[in-house]
Amino acid sequence: MKKVKLFGNNIEASCEYCANSKINNGVQFCTVNKVLKNGKCRKYEYNPFMREPKTQNILPKYKPEDFAL
């Protein structure tokens, strides 16, 4: 049986989600001194706790007159 990851198996490699990256004074860097080449890194390790949830759009407030025919 194929193992399904927390946010799916098709997560694009990004240093933002890598367990080997750290943020210091607002600057992100790799602790193993690697960079993405062609969208891939040999030391990339996905860490779901590094993800920041996207905010949802706030819906406009409607009045009862908006639904009257």
Count other C-beta atoms under 10 Å from residue 36's C-beta: 13
Residue 66 lies in a domain: no
Return the closest-CA partner of residue 41 out of 33, 50, 51, 52: 33
Residue whose token pair is 């969208």: 39
Cβ–Cβ under 8 Å, residues 13 and 35: no
Q: Which two tokens stand for residue 43?
A: 């030391």
Residue 56 lies in a domain: no
pTM of the model: 0.49
Residue 65 lies in a domain: no
* Residue-number span of the structural domain to which 16 is assigned: 10-51
Q: What residues are paired with 23 via a beta bridge?
A: 28
Examine the pLDDT at 61 and tell me if it is beyond 80: yes
* Model confidence pLDDT, tens digit, residues 5-60: 666 667 676 777 788 888 788 777 788 877 666 667 778 787 878 777 777 788 88
Count other C-beta atoms under 10 Å from residue 51's C-beta: 14
Give residue 8's pLDDT: 66
Residue 43 lies in a domain: yes
